């Protein structure tokens, strides 16, 4: 039995199954303080039976360097209480099994790449827009960025012409991408979630920033697809607006010969937890080697 954790800033999604495609049990718990959240997750896994391995797809930043003393830690996160949390070490000790560990977006990117039956030459970026904004890149089946990971949510973006007053909500950078259009940033500036707002201008502003993110992802990583998930992207019509924003910003500049696409997740809301089970599968195979 494989175990998987999609550790998010709002909730932990837990799953157990024989493979990433065969989930036998699934459970969701709110993300509270580390001690109670991790204990509750461990108790659920014990009730499922012994695990052969566990995969953790976590919000970040995290330490992915296998030679580091803090490998498996959530590091400089702005989420209260979770800074320098040894999440991988806790589960390795508590559940007595090998642990695979990566960012939630890297794991989701890997799952989306596999779900498309992609060739070894294919590449994609997965972006989540929710409690935070993050992105991961997979090319030829390999995750980009080792031994660290991308932090695309904290890039600087050009302000929309009608959006100059909001200072941004990121405690580190103010009006970085995450500080402008993550879920909490949208609520902080407009008082409601994006899907609850009727003003079309707000969606245009959000799409303007996310179009810049897509342009950056295509430009620096040369991927063929940008897959966009997360709660904010569930807003009706937003994906189409992001596509339009990207096309306008790119202005037909990027080199031809590649069928670039901006699309929703093939796995829907299961991208992250499926990716966590892929990490568990990889951890088990590495132990066998």
Question: What is the full per-residue pLDDT of the chain (289 aa) written as tens digits?
Answer: 999 999 998 899 999 999 999 999 999 999 999 999 999 999 999 999 999 999 999 998 999 999 999 999 999 888 889 999 999 999 999 999 999 999 999 999 999 999 987 666 688 999 999 989 999 999 888 898 777 788 899 999 999 998 988 999 999 999 999 999 999 999 999 999 999 998 889 999 999 999 999 999 999 988 999 999 999 999 999 999 999 999 999 999 998 777 899 999 999 999 999 999 999 999 998 876 6
88 domain residue, yes or no = yes
Tokens, residue 130: 């929710």
pLDDT digits (tens, 9 = 90+) for 74-85: 998 888 899 999
Question: What pairing do the DSSP bridges indicate for beta strands 11-19 and 22-30?
Answer: antiparallel
Q: Which residue range is the domain that position 27 belongs to?
A: 2-103
pLDDT digits (tens, 9 = 90+) for 74-115: 998 888 899 999 999 999 999 999 999 999 999 999 999 999
Q: What is the CATH number of the domain that holds 86?
A: 3.30.420.40
241 domain residue, yes or no = yes
Residues 6+ apart with CB under 8 A from 133: 127, 152, 153, 177, 178, 181, 182, 213, 230
128 domain residue, yes or no = yes
| Domain identity same for 79 and 33 | yes
109 domain residue, yes or no = no
pTM, full prediction = 0.91
Tokens, residue 163: 């959006």
């Amino acid at each position: 039995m494989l175990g998987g954790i999609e550790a998010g800033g709002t909730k932990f999604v837990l799953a157990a199954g024989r493979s990433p495609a065969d989930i036998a049990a699934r459970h969701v718990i709110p993300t509270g303080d580390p001690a109670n959240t991790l204990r509750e997750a461990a108790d659920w896994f014990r009730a499922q039976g012994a695990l052969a391995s566990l995969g953790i797809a976590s919000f970040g930043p995290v330490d992915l360097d296998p030679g580091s003393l803090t490998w498996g830690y959530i590091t400089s996160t702005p989420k209260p209480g979770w800074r320098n949390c040894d999440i991988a070490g806790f589960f390795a000790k508590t559940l007595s099994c090998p642990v695979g560990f990566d960012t939630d977006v890297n794991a989701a990117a890997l799952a989306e790449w596999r779900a498309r039956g992609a060739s070894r030459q294919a590449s994609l970026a997965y972006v989540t827009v929710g409690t935070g904004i993050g992105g991961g890149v997979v090319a030829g089946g390999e995750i980009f960025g080792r031994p660290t990971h991308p932090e695309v949510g904290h890039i600087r973006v050009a302000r929309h012409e009608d959006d100059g007053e909001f200072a941004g909500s990121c405690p580190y950078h103010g009006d970085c991408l995450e500080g402008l259009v993550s879920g909490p940033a949208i609520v902080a500036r407009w008082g409601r979630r994006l899907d609850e707002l009727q003003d079309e201008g707000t969606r245009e502003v959000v799409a303007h920033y996310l179009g810049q993110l897509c342009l950056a992802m295509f430009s620096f990583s040369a991927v063929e697809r940008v897959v966009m998930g997360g709660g904010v992207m569930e807003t009706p019509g937003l994906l189409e607006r992001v596509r339009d924003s990207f096309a306008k910003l790119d202005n037909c500049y990027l080199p031809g010969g590649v069928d670039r696409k901006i699309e929703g997740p093939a796995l829907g809301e299961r991208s992250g937890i499926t990716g966590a089970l892929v990490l568990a599968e990889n951890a088990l195979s590495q132990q066998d080697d």
